[in-house]
Amino acid sequence: MKLKKNNFPKDFLWGASISAFQSEGAYNEDNKGMSVQDIKKYGDDVSDFKVASDFYHKYKEDIILFKEMGLKSFRFSIAWSRIIPTGDGEINEKGLQFYENLIDELIKNNIEPIPTLYHFDLPLSLQEQGGWNNRELTVNAYLKYAEALFKRFAKKIKYWITFNEQNVMIMIGSKVSILNGSQTAVNEKELYQQSHNMFIAQAKAIDLLRKYSTQAKIGPALNNVCIYPDSKKPEDYLSAQNASIMRNWYYLDAIVRGIYNPIAKKYFLDNNLMPEILDNDLDILKKGKPDFLSINYYTSGTVKENQEDTNKAIKIDQQTMFDINGLFSYSKNEYLGKTEYGWAMDPVGLRITLREVYERYQLPLMISENGLGLSEKLENETVNDQMRIEYYHQHIEQLQLAISEGVEVIAYNPWSAIDLVSSHQGFKKRYGFIYVDRTENDLKELKRYKKKSFYWYKDLILKNGDIF
């Protein structure tokens, strides 16, 4: 039977994304406290986050460009330490006022604001007191922070995102911590306890929002990917199932269903990794069911049977698959092309991922990140990023096919609206539709320029994706 290709919904939210620590700068202005990201440094040849793209001072200028591009939504994050400088102390009115000004400016320009509460930037003061290991302190501090935002903005915001890429924080944390801004390996059992504490914080925040608004929707953004077996071997297929559980279903089963995935739970028990779960924790999770799920998608994963204790060292970033002894081993996929920075390109994988998540949980989906990092040069006041255009064209076509197959997707917010500091490669790896003129160490004037992809995306939005 031939698939009938549907048009995108008339109210579909075509947008773009950024995060606070990668774009705002102004790291010590207007009473902002330090976050774990403010002390992170990858080397002298990689930019820190102190100025970034200077979105804090240039947001009005950028929103003018967003409106020109035709954005219907803008997914950004709020810096916790800008709202509560110590993470758990006095609320900073200047921080609230900045985000109120940003939100009002977006609304004035008919752009739906989609804030993320937590995007890798825990207040440093909380980290020094145990961070997400300290359940009582950090969960309560997160709820205090969330309530400050809900009180102020609940009537203005339709969609909220609780956590960005909790699964990445835990998976990569077993190799290199991004929870505390360090390059130090973290105890794996502690990480799964931190993950459980995040589940509790998130569920309580979801329940809390409903006290302030009956209209607002809230959900998490996870880095979900489909996982392929390396071969036709049944053992490789089992390994792919294991990898899907450990990357996707362990997190989403807890968040959506309020349960610990049974296979993940058995693995935790057998390997002394099971977190402490208090008597009413699962009731808290069930009560805090999200309204939608958001997906950050860049690539798929491929794995094979793990026949021995390899746990081999591999280059770690948020798109890297990894080994778990006894469950699966990372494998390269020769059928997929590679980006300049070595990530596999798999547009069809986006469609598969959307289908898998929607079929399993049947909640509306949002795409909160999808994009291509390139090293670029400004020539004649623009950038010819044809490769990015082709990347988006292929992924959006697969998105349309997923919608045509019955998957409910409400928004597409690719990464990123403007160039910003890549969390590992600094400013040399660029993602934006808008070029920010600076280098790793030379801020220049931080002037904005429209790339070729800016005009392509503008045309796509104008036609509501009807270009295929």
Question: What residues are annotated to the active site?
Answer: 165, 369
Would you give the end-to-end CA distance of the chain in angstroms?
20
Distance CA 288, CA 162 (A): 11
Cis before 174? omega within 30: no
3-state secondary structure of 222: strand
Residues 34 and 55: their CA atoms lie apart, in Å, by 18
Closest CA to 286 of 224, 354, 202: 202
- Burial of 335: CB neighbours in 10 Å, binned 0-12, 13-18, 19+: exposed
- 346: exposed, middle or buried (Cβ count in 10 Å: 0-12, 13-18, 19+): buried
Kindly report the backbone phi and psi dihedral angles of residue 425, in degrees, each rounded to the nearest multiple of 5, phi listed first: -110, 10
> Which of 134, 114, 118 has the alpha carbon at shortest distance from 126?
134
The Cα 378–Cα 127 span in angstroms is: 39
Strands 365-369 and 293-296: parallel
Among candidates 61, 126, 60, 56, which has minimal Cα distance to 87? 126
Nearest to 106 by CA among 82, 137, 72, 80: 72
Query: Which secondary structure element, helix H or strand E, spans residue 15, and what is its range?
Result: strand 13-17
E strands, 284-346, in order: 293-296, 301-304, 329-330, 337-338, 344-345
